[in-house]
């Protein structure tokens, strides 16, 4: 179901802060993203009793602690499957995953395509700082080759992956990108993602001043550019072009793509209805559905 059907509450952004102190380093981009999340929740009037915030392991995976909601801090890379199960068990709730580039695309990389292709009705906000911060600075799937880290003191051998192309290719139905230094834009994109029915993915550049010394705030400021206003987010081909990069090597900021498709919980509910309910269904009836 869509969050439009949920009860609304009137809460200011700061009222979504939990009692847990935010422990991120001063200057960390994650502070900006968290503010964007608070603002999005407030603008949508989401009741904390209707919200599940789920994460794996990493600095950004601490986010659920800082939000008033139901929450689960799971295993490294496993936020996606846990969130998928939670969403299917409670399809009338708003489910959001927060995590980093290492947790999402390395340790949890096997889960990303499946959330996208199944169109699980949840929002995935990926805090992309091109490094593992919590474990004190290792090369991640979005690190640039010139970045030196403990694991790559002479720079890395690999090209960074492009999360936008990846998510579009696997069928995500909402794909956007922001930058932590622009919390209002982050809030808009997260708000759109939470409102979207289906798998919504928001990639947000976020500086890690403690361990990533090349992807600084200024680097990201110079890197990003807003997607041209005449872009139609319903145009998949155009979204793929934009995901490759804007002119002069700029990274796109804004909504690249949005479409509507049945969600996993809707498709499963349809099957359950066909076989006559949850409790006493007969496995043979399910098999019959797929018999040629
Ligand atoms: Fe942020 Fe990096 Fe500090 Fe982690 S280590 S809190 S990502 S600045
Ligand atoms: Mg990271």
The binding-site residues of ligand 1, defined as CB within 6 angstroms of any ligand atom, are 24-25, 28, 30, 59, 129, 133-134, 208-211
Q: In the prediction, which pLDDT does 291 show?
A: 77
Q: Which of 34, 66, 133 to mutate to test the pocket of ligand 1 (most atoms within 8 A of CB)?
A: 133
Question: pLDDT digits over 143-154, tens only?
Answer: 999 999 888 999
Distance 102 CA to ligand 2 centre (A): 5
**pTM across the whole model:** 0.94
Cα 67 from Cα 153, distance rounded (Å): 36
99 C-alpha to ligand 2 centroid (Å): 8
Encode burial over 21-47: b for 16+ CB neighbours within 10 A, e otherwise.
eeebeeebbbbbbbbbbbbbbbebebb
Which segments of the chain have a pLDDT < 70? 1, 277-283, 286
Whole-angstrom distance, CA of residue 101 vs CA of residue 78: 13
∠ CA 108-106-137, nearest 5°, is 125
What sign has the CA pseudo-torsion 65, 71, 74, 77?
negative
How confident is the model at residue 273, as a pLDDT?
84
Q: How far apart are CA 38 and CA 41, in angstroms?
A: 5
Q: What's residue 12's pLDDT?
A: 98
Choice from 59, 130, 204 to test ligand 1 binding pocket (greatest atom count within 8 A of CB): 59
Domain residue limits, the chain: 3-260, 262-292
- Per-residue pLDDT tens over the stretch 36-88: 999 999 999 999 999 999 999 999 999 999 999 999 999 999 999 999 999 99
Topology of domain 3-260 in CATH is: Rossmann fold (3.40.50)
For helices 79-89 and 264-274, what crossing angle results, to 10°?
50
Residue from 21, 22, 23, 25 whose mutation best tests the ligand 1 pocket (most atoms within 8 A of CB) = 25
Name the token pair of 228.
Answer: 């041209």
Ligand showing the shortest atom-to-Cα distance for residue 139: 2
CA distance 122 to 3: 10
């Amino acid at each position: 179901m869509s969050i439009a059907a949920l009860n609304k509450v009137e809460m200011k952004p700061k009222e979504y802060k939990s009692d847990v102190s935010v422990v991120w380093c001063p200057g960390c981009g994650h502070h900006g993203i968290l503010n964007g999340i608070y603002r999005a929740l407030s603008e949508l009037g989401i009741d904390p009793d209707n919200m599940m915030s789920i994460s794996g392991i990493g600095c950004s995976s601490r986010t659920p602690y800082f939000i008033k909601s139901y929450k689960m801090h799971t295993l490294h890379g496993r936020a996606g499957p846990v969130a998928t199960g939670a969403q299917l068990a409670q399809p009338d709730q708003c489910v959001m995953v927060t995590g980093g580039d290492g947790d999402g695309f390395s340790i949890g990389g096997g889960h990303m395509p499946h959330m996208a292709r199944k169109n699980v009705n949840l929002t995935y906000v990926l805090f992309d700082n091109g490094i593992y911060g919590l474990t004190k600075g290792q090369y991640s799937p979005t690190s640039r080759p010139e970045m030196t880290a403990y694991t790559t003191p002479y720079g890395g051998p690999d090209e960074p992956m492009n999360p936008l192309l990846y998510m579009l290719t696997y069928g995500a139905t909402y794909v956007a990108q922001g930058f932590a230094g622009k919390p209002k834009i982050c809030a808009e994109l997260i708000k759109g993602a939470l409102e979207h029915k289906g798998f919504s993915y928001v990639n947000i550049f976020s500086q890690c001043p403690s361990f990533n010394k090349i992807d600084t705030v200024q680097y990201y400021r110079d890197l990003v550019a807003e997607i041209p206003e005449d872009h139609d987010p319903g145009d998949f081909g155009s979204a793929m072009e934009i995901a490759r990069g804007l002119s002069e090597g700029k990274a796109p900021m804004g909504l690249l793509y949005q479409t509507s498709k049945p969600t996993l919980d809707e498709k499963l509910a349809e099957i359950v209805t066909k076989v006559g309910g949850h409790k006493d269904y007969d496995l043979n009836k399910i098999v019959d559905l797929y018999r040629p």
